Chain A
Amino acid sequence: MSSLFSGEQIAGVLDELGITHVVTVPDSTIGQWQSAIEDRGRARLVRVCREGESWEVAAGLYLAGARPIVMIQCTGLFESGDAIRNVLHDWKLPIFAIIGYRSYLNQETLPGDTCLVFTEPILDAWRIDYRLLTEPTQLAAIAEHHRACASEGKPGAIVVAEGKA
């Protein structure tokens, strides 16, 4: 399996959490989940053009009563800086994200990928409480961490180890 989790598993978790909108730019791993999410018909995919948009679109959705999630690659996390600062820290909105961690499981496509250097320090810098998932057995951690963050009214993220770009 080229992804730790199948689209059906992810769609099931989103359903369990009552997610209404998935605001996303795909990569080759999280992009595989799109059709299962759409097939399930519960959460709507909102396709944006760059990841900075995703946090602000999610903010608008949240303010207006929806339950959004951001789903992007770690490269998109790097792209998102000012929007994260604004949404999570200026406006203090508890937006949750699922972030694909490029090259974590292997670096065949991009040897020496600097995503491995910067992803976790950037999450720490933005004070995002994240859980890194590296095994297929850790699926339940997504809902657990989402619930924990929601109950505290704070943002959070799940970082899913990926094998390729």
Chain B
Amino acid sequence: MSGARMSGRDAIVALHAARGARDVVITTMAPARDWMTLPQQPLDLVFVPSAMGHATSIGLGIALAQPERRAIVCNGDGSMLMNLGSLASITGAGASNLVLLVFENGVYEVTGGQRTAGTHVDFAGLARAAGFASVFELSKLEDWTARIGDVLAARGPVFAVLKVEPAAGVPGPKSPGPARERARRLMDALRG
């Protein structure tokens, strides 16, 4: 199976194990669904409910307010396509502590797996052109697992495309609880 794409869930499990204790991790769409199945930490922002496309923007805000903390954003490819300008906003603002992971499955997985308009898009190329300092493209789980430390520690802003298999028939993420309370807990963790 060495040519096979990793599953999004396996990629998330590997990230969960590798994230640093002070990192804030922002997840949306299928990555949020998979992240929620793992033990949660106060510095997790499960961005559900979301405005589609804006996980990158909320991550940028957190990264700018706390430049000494790493902000890791796990985004869907459809969501990325919806807010491509945020690539320029991130690099333009010099958010060197931001790590953006795009889970490229070619579809809108959580709405039933419809094809996106951008299956031909070279996300890594877009990120390079937008000025990300380090850009990675990984499709095998063993490569992601081996390189995840390098990705997180690379000169930022960092962009990594994780080419993943869409999970068919798995329901989308459900809100893990009242957003206002979760916002308050995250604020305490970030400001504490």
Footprint of B on A, CB under 8 Å?
A: 20-21, 23, 44, 46-50, 52-66, 68, 82-83, 85-87, 90-93
Contact = CB atoms under 8 A, between A and B. Distances in A.
A68 B57 contact: no
A144 B50 CA distance: 31
A60 B60 contact: yes
B57 A63 contact: no
Interface of B: 24, 45, 49-54, 57-66, 69, 83, 85-86, 88-89, 92-93, 179-180, 183, 186-187, 190-191
B129 to A, nearest CB: 14
A64 B183 contact: no
Given A47-B93, A57-B57, A59-B58, A65 B51 contact: no
Nearest to A61: B61
Nearest to B86: A53
Contacts, number: 113
B64 A21 contact: yes
Given A47-B93, A49-B85, A50-B85, A87 B51 contact: yes
B57 A48 contact: yes
Contacts of B24: 64
6 contacts: A52-B53, A53-B89, A57-B57, A58-B61, A59-B61, A65-B65
Given A63-B183, A64-B191, A83-B51, A49 B58 contact: no
B41 to A, nearest CB: 15
Contacts of B59: 60
B61 A60 contact: yes
Contacts of B180: 91-92
A15 B183 CA distance: 26
Nearest to A68: B61
B62 A63 contact: yes
A57 B61 contact: yes
A46 B92 CA distance: 9
Nearest to A50: B85
Given A46-B93, A91-B180, A53 B64 contact: no
A60 B65 contact: yes
B33 to A, nearest CB: 18
Contacts of B86: 48-49, 53
Nearest to A48: B89
Contacts of A82: 51-52
A93 B92 CA distance: 25
Contact of B54 (A23, A44, A86, A92): A86
B164 to A, nearest CB: 24
A107 B149 CA distance: 57
Which 5 A/B pairs are nearest by Cβ-Cβ distance?
A: A60-B61, A49-B85, A64-B65, A56-B57, A86-B51
A90 B179 contact: yes
Of B45, B89, B186, the most chain A CB neighbours within 10 A belong to B89
Nearest to B24: A64
Contacts of B54: 52-53, 56, 83, 86
Contacts of A63: 45, 58, 61-62, 65, 183, 186-187, 190
Given A46-B60, A56-B58, A56-B61, 20 more contacts: A20-B65, A46-B89, A47-B92, A55-B57, A56-B57, A57-B58, A59-B57, A59-B61, A60-B60, A60-B65, A63-B62, A63-B187, A64-B190, A65-B65, A66-B61, A66-B64, A68-B61, A83-B54, A85-B51, A86-B54
